[in-house]
Amino acid sequence: MVGAMVDPRFARDADKEAARLRAVSALKAFDGPVDDPRYARIVRLAASHFGARSASLVLIEAAQLRLKAGFGCPAPAAATPRDGSVADLVMALGEPLISQNAQTDPRLAGLSAAAGGFLACAPVIASAGGVVGLLIVEDPTARPSIGADRQVLVDLAALAMEELQRDADGARPATGARNLDSERLALAIGAARMGEFEWDRAGDTYTISPRLAKIANLPEGVIPAEDGQALFPYVHPDDRDEIQRTVDAELRKKGRYEVEFRRNPDENGRIQWNRAAGVMTLDENNEPTHLIGVIQDITDRKQQDEQRESLLAELDHRIKNLLAVVQSVAAQSARKSSSLDVFLKTFAGRLKSMSSAHDLLSAARWRGATLARIAAAELGGLAPTQTRWDGPELFLTPRAASALSLTLHELAVNAVKFGALSTEHGKVEVVWRRSPDGGFALEWLESGGPPPAEPSKRGFGATLIEDVVGRELGGRARIDYRRGGVSALIQAAPEALADGPPPEPAPAAPERIVETLIAADETVRPGAIAGLRVLIVEDSLLLALELEAGLEDAGVVVVGCAAELSEALAMLDQTFDVAVLDADLNGQSVAPVAEILRREGRPFVFATGYADKAAPMGFDAPIVRKPYNVHQIARAIADVTGRH
């Protein structure tokens, strides 16, 4: 139990304290018995959730804390001094106090709570706003807590307040039995998706709450405990032995446990995850009498974790593929270029084409796209003279468009690295047709490249294609490594096709876009921007260095380079003629900088990697879309400063 005292550090407002004491008195909370089953269940649930040794509900009087319900306290006192407790500290905070280790927590220095380990307190707040009591969870062992613990504690304290108010209103006698699994309790712990159980060791029975029965697919009510083993058959067979060893070991060592495990598959074969926590209660002889526990459904969290890991693996794979494609495009551009200048322009053009294809595919994930546009996006930027695609106009759903783009991407990358597109004379043809069942079939045909060698084992790319086609397109994929070249057959279900494209958004008014690829558009009059003082705001060090060097070659004076928003704002006091602004600085918008420049009448140019064509944040300023080269930036600077 935690006591309480008046500490000079927490001065009380006399009027507020008087009002608070009136609220406590109005509750008539001291009329009922200490062993009221409603409040006893609340403190037991609090202790079980935290896996703590004890918990209590106390009401804060003028000079003492009066016990309303206790759990795990061998011989709890009916009242303890307020002086020296955490009561005034929690009231001053007005919010829960959770200390992982009360002995080292500076907030608790000098208080009786500082002698303990883990401590969690939530104020019990009356409808008028005053703190009338505390819900306290204690354990002699220090331990970390998680963010969800705080809300559970708040919910249980609120539930206790509702019961206190119900008693005061005379809605039912304070000693009346309470159905603890009513709708109000479901709402209080529903957000945490928890249910509770109790093992009576003397009677060797489990009591399963209705909520837990629903969450964990367990029989409701009192069931034989079978010496505590009755719940383990509901654990997935692959996890059962390990979970049982862990629970037994933790109970022997600490008197409590916390584990995560898979349940047996449901009737649809789906795997669901639970988190279980329990604490053993002891009698005056330190002999175990009951095990109180809670089980929480964490399936959604686990699925999110798995999805995140899958996305990270796919992202890592696609980044490596992208680097390989860029390397191949650079090598092929170099072989066909007669000079460095021609190479740079050709290579930049192909990168720009790849960027535009990426924009299309990003949009397709939201709106869907025609199959022809997806093929053009994946193949057109790689080798436009070596690829061909043809077939009827088919509109794919957003999900199917994303899946097919990933499939074509994998095939194209392999063709660039090892197949037909790795040579100047190779060809790739993609054709598709409707299937009799209403879906479609797509064929990928390579020719003119090196003879393919069938891999000794299935790589990540092939696995990804088969999984994506089966899961997202409802079909199947087959890849053949023929002597003449790789071929693939992709078959999709009717559900992958949509009736037609959704309404396109209304076209925006033309913006000032600087997005040029050919030499004529990038030409800047020699000396046109010489002598201009330029501020560069760019969070990529390599881009900033390249831009600074290129502009200085054109005669520009770079007054500074800022990589952070705060750094850019600080540099606005310098004298410069024009600024080049990256629209996004490590997740922060550059809008504050642009707004100041617009207000002061100083010109600026945006450099952005965002796919939309609108000027960032609505500013009327030229835009150079990444990937860009220095010539494009120079032309934009010349335009915005009137130095054509």
Q: What angle do CA 221, 222, 223 make, to 5 degrees?
A: 115
pLDDT, tens digit (0-9, with 9 covering 90-100), for 184-240? 545 545 555 777 888 888 888 988 888 788 877 788 888 898 888 888 888 898 989
Pair 27, 111: CB distance under 8 Å: no
Q: Which of 166-180, 373-387, 491-505 has the lowest mean pLDDT?
A: 166-180
DSSP 371-419: HHHHHHHHHTTT-TTTEEEE----EEPHHHHHHHHHHHHHHHHHHHHTS
Q: Are residues 314 and 458 in the same domain?
A: yes
CATH number of the domain where residue 521 is located: 3.40.50.2300
d(CA 346, CA 385): 14
Pair 86, 113: CB distance under 8 Å: yes
Q: Are residues 285 and 339 in the same domain?
A: no
CB atoms closer than 10 angstroms to residue 306: 10
Residue 33 included in any domain: yes
AA letter at 639: D
How many structural domains are present in the chain? 4
Pair 174, 138: CB distance under 8 Å: no
Q: Are residues 393 and 471 in the same domain?
A: yes
Phi, psi of 628 (to 5 degrees): -125, 170
Which of 496, 528, 545 is a domain's end point? 496
d(CA 257, CA 249): 9
Take residue 462 and report the two structure tokens written for it: 């092939």
513: β partners: 623
Q: Are residues 436 and 530 in the same domain?
A: no
**At which residue do the structure tokens 């407002």 appear?**
13
Q: Are residues 443 and 559 in the same domain?
A: no
pLDDT of residue 406: 72
pLDDT, tens digit (0-9, with 9 covering 90-100), for 327-374? 766 776 676 567 887 777 767 755 665 565 566 656 555 566 788 888
Indicate if the pLDDT at residue 534 is higher than 80.
yes
Residue 508 included in any domain: no
Which of 245, 280, 297 is a domain's end point? 297
Q: Are residues 311 and 285 in the same domain?
A: no
Pair 47, 53: CB distance under 8 Å: yes
Q: Are residues 92 and 174 in the same domain?
A: yes
pLDDT, tens digit (0-9, with 9 covering 90-100), for 133-147? 999 998 888 877 666
pLDDT, tens digit (0-9, with 9 covering 90-100), for 623-633? 887 777 788 88
pLDDT of residue 332: 60
Q: Which of 276-290, 301-315, 453-467 has the lowest mean pLDDT?
A: 453-467
Residue 524 included in any domain: yes
Residue 588 included in any domain: yes
d(CA 256, CA 272): 23
Q: What's the alpha-carbon Rg for the chain, to the nearest Å? A: 34
DSSP 292-340: EEEEEE-HHHHHHHHHHHHHHHHHHHHHHHHHHHHHHHHHHHHHT-SSH
d(CA 273, CA 294): 14
Q: Which of 358-372, 411-425, 467-481 has the lowest mean pLDDT?
A: 358-372
- Give the chain's mean pLDDT: 79
Take residue 182 and report the two structure tokens written for it: 């009513």
Q: Which of 322-326, 529-533, 590-594 has the lowest mean pLDDT?
A: 322-326
pLDDT band at residue 48 using 50, 70 and 90 as cut-offs: confident
Per DSSP (E only), the strands in 531-587 are: 533-537, 557-562, 578-582, 584-585
Q: Are residues 49 and 121 in the same domain?
A: yes
pLDDT, tens digit (0-9, with 9 covering 90-100), for 233-279? 888 989 899 999 999 898 888 888 889 998 888 777 788 888 888 88
Say which residues have a Cβ less than 8 Å from residue 460's Cβ, sequence separation at least 6.
317
pLDDT of residue 443: 94
pLDDT, tens digit (0-9, with 9 covering 90-100), for 551-593? 998 899 999 999 888 899 999 999 999 999 988 887 788 889 9
Q: Are residues 346 and 481 in the same domain?
A: yes
Helix (H, G, I), strand (E, B) or coil at 135: strand
d(CA 110, CA 106): 9
Helix (H, G, I), strand (E, B) or coil at 158: helix
pLDDT band at residue 307 using 50, 70 and 90 as cut-offs: confident
Could you say which DSSP state residue 538 is in?
A: -
pLDDT of residue 577: 94
Say which residues have a Cβ less than 8 Å from residue 291's Cβ, sequence separation at least 6.
198, 199, 201, 228, 251, 278, 279, 280, 281
pLDDT band at residue 8 using 50, 70 and 90 as cut-offs: very low
Pair 134, 163: CB distance under 8 Å: no
d(CA 431, CA 354): 21
pLDDT band at residue 10 using 50, 70 and 90 as cut-offs: very low
Plot region of 228 (φ>0 → left; ψ -120 to 50 → alpha; else → beta): left
pLDDT of residue 460: 55
AA letter at 394: L
CATH number of the domain where residue 421 is located: 3.30.565.10
Residue 353 included in any domain: yes
Expressed as residue numbers, the domain containing 393 is: 303-496
Q: Residue length, the chain?
A: 644
Q: Are residues 318 and 466 in the same domain?
A: yes
d(CA 226, CA 232): 10
Say which residues have a Cβ less than 8 Å from residue 269's Cβ, sequence separation at least 6.
none
Biggest CA–CA distance in the chain, Å, is 97
Residue 504 included in any domain: no
Q: Which among 348, 329, 381 is positioned nearest to 518, based on CA atoms?
A: 348
Burial of 344 (0-12, 13-18, 19+ CB in 10 A): middle
Q: Are residues 217 and 282 in the same domain?
A: yes
d(CA 99, CA 90): 12
Torsion angle (degrees, nearest 10) of CA 531, 536, 542, 543: -90
Residue 582 included in any domain: yes
Indicate if the pLDDT at residue 45 is higher than 50.
yes
Which of 297, 317, 338 is a domain's end point? 297
Residue 1 included in any domain: no
Q: In the 3-class helix/strand/coil scheme, how is 437-503 assigned residue by residue? A: CCCEEEEEEEECCCCCCCCCCCCHHHHHHHHHHHHHCCCEEEEEEECCEEEEEEEECHHHECCCCCC
Q: How far apart are the first and last CA of the chain?
A: 81
CATH number of the domain where residue 61 is located: 3.30.450.40
Phi, psi of 83 (to 5 degrees): -60, 130
Give the pTM. 0.40
The per-type count for the chain, helices as H runs and strands as E runs, is 17, 27
58: β partners: 67, 134
Q: Are residues 336 and 366 in the same domain?
A: yes
